[in-house]
A and B are shown apart, each in its own frame.
Chain A
């Protein structure tokens, strides 16, 4: 089954404790992206990747890192999480210029 898998789905952590949200897709998509969704602000893009070893900043990259060492994986790293990074995070993938396939989301709370 074609899918985008994110883990963990739910996480409560404390300020400053490094965490990684994993994202994996099985559709051989070149393009992958991370979004955060906050009430009243819609979906905002954090980082995206057009292919292996190619990553670019989205609209809200501060406080986040990503890597794309393999085509199928695109982890999101929060080196030192802060409460303003409490949000619902989505990973998505697509062929270049195609429709996006979304994961089920990761709800992160930073205390």
Chain B
């Protein structure tokens, strides 16, 4: 099944810095979604970008999508300690939503 693969697996930054996470996938998609998970809790939807969109913003989040490279990036600007979490991309094509293994982000105050 198609699967998003996040990169890096883990990222540690200082508060106030920007955090960038990448996602690559293998087959054509209808949309790509990013989710956040605080330790052991349920995932929370952050943002959805459709296959005909190239960039989308939501607050401090910026998502880009390059369908020619089958990749997406999630940028969190001016990070805060509360942004510490795991971030997952998920792709939806003709099959149900499929998740990657996530990027573990640590923001150090």
A residues apposed to B, CB below 8 Å: 4, 31, 33, 35, 40-43, 45, 48, 58-59, 88, 90, 92, 97, 99-105, 107
The reply to whether the CB of B61 lies closer than 8 angstroms to some CB of chain A is no
**Residues 60-109 of B contacting A (Cβ, < 8 Å):** 88, 90, 92, 96-102
The reply to whether the CB of B33 lies closer than 8 angstroms to some CB of chain A is yes
The reply to whether the CB of B31 lies closer than 8 angstroms to some CB of chain A is yes
Q: Quick check: A99 and B101 within 8 Å, CB to CB?
A: no
How many A-B residue contacts, CB cutoff 8 Å? Answer: 49
**Residues 1-49 of B contacting A (Cβ, < 8 Å):** 1, 30-31, 33, 35, 40-45, 48
Q: Quick check: A102 and B44 within 8 Å, CB to CB?
A: yes
Q: A33-B96, A48-B96, A99-B48 are in contact. Are A105 and B101 (CB under 8 A)?
A: no
Shortest Cβ gap from B95 to chain A (Å): 9
Q: A40-B101, A42-B88, A42-B101 are in contact. Are A104 and B42 (CB under 8 A)?
A: yes
How many residues on chain B are close to A (CB under 8 Å)? Answer: 22
How far, in whole Å, are A99 and B30 apart by their CA atoms in the complex?
Answer: 13
Q: Which residues of B contact A103 (CB under 8 A)?
A: 42
Shortest Cβ gap from A84 to chain B (Å): 19
Q: Quick check: B43 and A90 within 8 Å, CB to CB?
A: yes
Q: Quick check: A45 and B41 within 8 Å, CB to CB?
A: no
How far, in whole Å, are A101 and B96 apart by their CA atoms in the complex?
Answer: 14
How far, in whole Å, are A15 and B97 apart by their CA atoms in the complex?
Answer: 31
Q: Which residues of B contact A58 (CB under 8 A)?
A: 96
- In the complex, which residue of chain B has the Cβ closest to the Cβ of A58? B96
29 contacts between A and B (CB under 8 A): A33-B96, A41-B101, A42-B88, A42-B99, A42-B100, A42-B101, A42-B102, A43-B43, A43-B88, A43-B99, A45-B96, A45-B98, A59-B1, A88-B40, A92-B42, A92-B43, A97-B30, A97-B31, A97-B92, A99-B33, A100-B43, A100-B90, A101-B45, A103-B42, A104-B41, A105-B40, A105-B41, A105-B42, A107-B40
